[in-house]
Amino acid sequence: MFLIVGLGNPEKKYEKTFHNMGFLAAGDCAELLNVKFKKKECEASVAEGYLGGEKVILARPVTYMNASGRAVKQLVAKYKISPEELVVIYDDYDLPKGHVRIRPNGSAGTHNGMRSVIAELGFSDFARVRIGIRDPEIEIPLIDYVLSEVRREDYDLFSSACKRAAEAAISLARGENFELVMTKYNG
C-alpha cells in the first residue's frame, strides 16, 4: 500500500494559489490512476486506486495548511503506512518556479504545512516531492506570496510542474528506484 498526500488549503478562494500546488498535483495523480476524490475520512478528501495490484491512497487534507499533519497522521495510522510508503507533495518557496525536486527525507524548510506533518508524525524520513514557486520578480512577504494566485502567464509552467510531480509520485508508488526517479524528475 502507498499513501500520496498533496498539501494545500481547502477553500475555493485558495484554489489557484501557490500554496495549493500539492492539491493540484494530487489531482493529477488521480487522473493518472483514473480515480476521483469521493470519500472524506481522517480530515482529508481521499481517492483510492491500484498500481500493479497494490492499493494507492491519494489524499488532500481538508484542514488548513498549517494543520495538515493531523490528517496525515490519521491516515498513516488508519492504513498502517510505513515511512517508505508515504509521499508528500507540496509547494516550495526555496525552489525556483516550475522546478520539481524529489527527496527521500529532510527538514520542513520554510514550509509550515510540512512542519505540521513532521511534528505530528514524529519522523521525517518519508519521500517528498516539492514544486518550486519562487519568482524573483515578485517581492512581497512570504505569507502573502504563497496565498496569492499564480499569474496567468505562469499557469502553463505550474500546470506542467504539477503533472511532473504527480508522475514522480506515481513512479515512487509503483516501486521504481528512488535514485532513478530523482534523476528523471529533479530540475
Residues designated as active site: 19
**Percentages of the chain per state (helix, strand, coil), in multiples of 5:** 45, 25, 30
**Strands 127-134, 39-41: parallel, antiparallel or unpaired by DSSP?**
unpaired
Continuous segment of H or E residues that includes residue 158 = helix 155-173
In whole angstroms, give the CA distance from residue 169 to residue 25. Answer: 9
In whole angstroms, give the CA distance from residue 123 to residue 118. Answer: 6
Q: Please report, as a single letter, which amino acid is at residue 144.
A: D
β-partners of residue 59 are 5, 46
In whole angstroms, give the CA distance from residue 19 to residue 146. Answer: 5
In whole angstroms, give the CA distance from residue 53 to residue 47. Answer: 16
Q: Please report, as a single letter, which amino acid is at residue 4.
A: I
